[in-house]
Amino acid sequence: MKILDFSAMLPTARALKDAGVGGVMLYCSPPREQWMRAKQPPRAYLDALDVAGIKYGFVWQYGGAANPDAMRGRTGGRLDATAAQAYLDSVGRGDRPVVFAVDFDASLAQWNNNIVDYFRGAVEVLGRQRVGIYSHSRAVAWAAEDAVVATVAPGRVLGWVTRSWGSTGFEAYSTLYQHTHNVTGPDGVKVDENRELHKDWGWRPLPAPKVPAKLVDAVPAPRIVTWTDRFGFGGPRPVAGVVYVFIHVTVNTPGTPAENVATYQITSQSGSYHTLVDMKKLLRENTADWVVWATGNKGNFNGMHLSYVAMGTETRAQWLGELRQMLLMGAWEVANWCHKHGIRTVVVDGQGLLRGETGISTHKATRIWGGTDHVDPGEGFPMDVLASTVNDYLGLMAATTTEEGDSIMSHLSENEQRQVFDAVIETRNLTRDIHRALVEPQTSMVEGSTFKTNAAGYIKLIDRKVEELHQAYASKSSVAQELADALQARNDAGEATEAEHGTPDEGVAK
């Protein structure tokens, strides 16, 4: 489908139709210069496009290269999204997505320091499923990684990629490609030409991503106690900005009931989390839309916070031994959060937070942002095992969910669910062991040999040796075959008997 965008003038719907244009991207931002007469088209123009069967989406770009919109951070994103919504409401298209332009060669540092917050601000106003991005391919990939733009299909976001600044490899994860700039189009208007990469490129409201079955349908829930009505301090926050999970400990002896910790926090108003985990249960203190007092302000605002009732001095062996059940209960809650909020299931350290990477992190890591000097959950805490378990839980949920979003596990008993889960994990571990045996180098079993390679290397070596033996045998066997063939030929001619044995009467007197 031919899709155009233009800012100088509005080609008529008839001219677009006659030129075979199937879609257009229209500016919902006001004109920056007088010549930008195509910006904020009137409702009558949109109605004419509908009659002509021409699809249209909306893009916001007010500032020029010298003062880009997206460098204004979260406040700028909120203001622009609010203005875009006001225009869309005025023309009766208030449910449409908006693509926000990053029309310059944005660097990763600019993305992490300003631009991502601009998109987070826009998401707070419009919701993530109504926010898209126009930029080079790298920025579109960053937006997808940081979950600040709409998802149109698994692995694909509402991303409009321009050919400028070396864009490559974008076809798999974006929706629109601007391949030609500033050519004469319908009605003599200067236009840019675009290619459709996915049917949902922003011309209609995007449905919310299909939410698979709840985690509890795949992995039995631990015991849960809810105290969210007892925590009145803190304040509301938009859940669209939640992109982290932070792990804490309460600095209490393992075995202390979570209720004891929560009661102290309520009485003293000295801190709070979203969920506490003790040896027997989860205690939910606050809902996702509530700011807790757990780290510095930034971490409180953008993360979900889970705290284990433990000292922080526990060793890795303890966490994987007598505290393992508590570790797994916390992983179940983290998996719920990652699934619900689209949080990446990777461990992020302090430097990662500084780079703007999102995922599962620790209270200690947030020191990089300031506002705290804590070091929990402690050096012995197995963050790798926590993240791996979260992935196991989410993988099982995905594997047991139908295309309609129904869980095939929900009809099983808790014991049957556990058996399935254990079987999946056992299969996963076996697969890992086989993979490790295939790819990790092994020393030769021949005594005194120092040769070392992986299973594939040994197979190739055996193959080569067999081929060498085959070639050597073939060479020798061909010589033997020639001798045998010659002897057979002589026998057939009667030469062998006469030459070697004489005639029957030889040596008999006449």
Rounded CA separation 82/163 (Å):
29
**Per-residue pLDDT at 189 exceeds 90:** yes
Distances 34 to 30, 37, 102, 366 between C-alpha atoms, Å: 10, 7, 22, 47
Q: Residue 503: what residue type?
A: T
Q: Is the whole model's pTM more than 0.75, yes or no? A: no
Tokens of 64: 């020029």
Q: What is the mean pLDDT of residues 330-355?
A: 93
**CATH for 215-411?**
3.40.80.10
Give the residue-averaged pLDDT of 231-257. 93
Q: Where are the domains of the chain?
A: 2-196, 215-411, 452-501
Instruction: Specify the residue for token string 């014991």.
Output: 415
C-alpha torsion angle, residues 172, 175, 179, 181 (rounded to 10): -150
Identify which of 223, 218, 119 has the alpha carbon closest to the alpha carbon of residue 417.
218
pLDDT level of residue 500 (50, 70, 90 thresholds): very low
Q: Which two tokens stand for residue 503?
A: 């005639």
Give 399-446 pLDDT, tens digit per residue: 777 655 666 666 666 677 667 767 766 776 777 677 677 777 878 778
Domain 2-196: which topology? TIM Barrel (3.20.20)
The DSSP output letter for 401 is: B
**Sign, Cα dihedral of 213, 217, 222, 228:** positive
Mean pLDDT of 307-334: 97
Residue pair 227/262 in contact by the 8 Å Cβ criterion: yes
pLDDT at position 510, please?
31
Fold match between domain 2-196 and domain 215-411: no
Q: 465-468 long-range CB contacts below 8 Å, 24 or more apart?
A: none
16-71 pLDDT tens trace: 999 999 999 999 999 999 999 999 999 999 999 999 999 999 999 999 888 999 99
* Helix (H) / strand (E) containing 442: strand 442-443
CA-CA distances (angstroms) from residue 171 to 131, 138, 159, 376?
A: 19, 12, 10, 42
Which residues lie closer than 8 Å to 312 by C-beta, 6 or more apart?
249, 251, 375, 376, 377, 378, 381
Please report, for residues 306, 314, 326, the alpha-carbon distance to residue 349 in angstroms, rounded to integers and kept in the order given: 17, 20, 23
2-16, 86-100, 416-430: segment of lowest average pLDDT? 416-430
For residues 62 and 28, give the distance between their C-alpha atoms in angstroms, rounded to a whole number: 9
What is the C-alpha separation between 51 and 352, in angstroms, rounded?
50
292 close to 234: Cβ distance less than 8 angstroms: yes
Q: Return the CA Rg of the chain.
A: 34
* pLDDT value of residue 476: 65
φ, ψ for residue 193, nearest 5 deg = -105, 145
Tell me the average pLDDT across 96-117: 95
- CA quadruple 426, 431, 434, 435: dihedral, nearest 10: -140
Q: What is the pLDDT of residue 136?
A: 96
Residue scoring higher pLDDT (245 or 431): 245
Report the distance separating Cα 11 and Cα 81, nearest Å: 26
Q: How far is CA 448 from CA 61, 441, 443, 459, 464, in A?
A: 71, 17, 10, 20, 22
Phi, psi of 58 (to 5 degrees): -130, 140
3-state helix, strand, coil in the chain (%, to 5): 45, 15, 40
Q: How far apart are CA 361 and CA 347, in angstroms?
A: 6
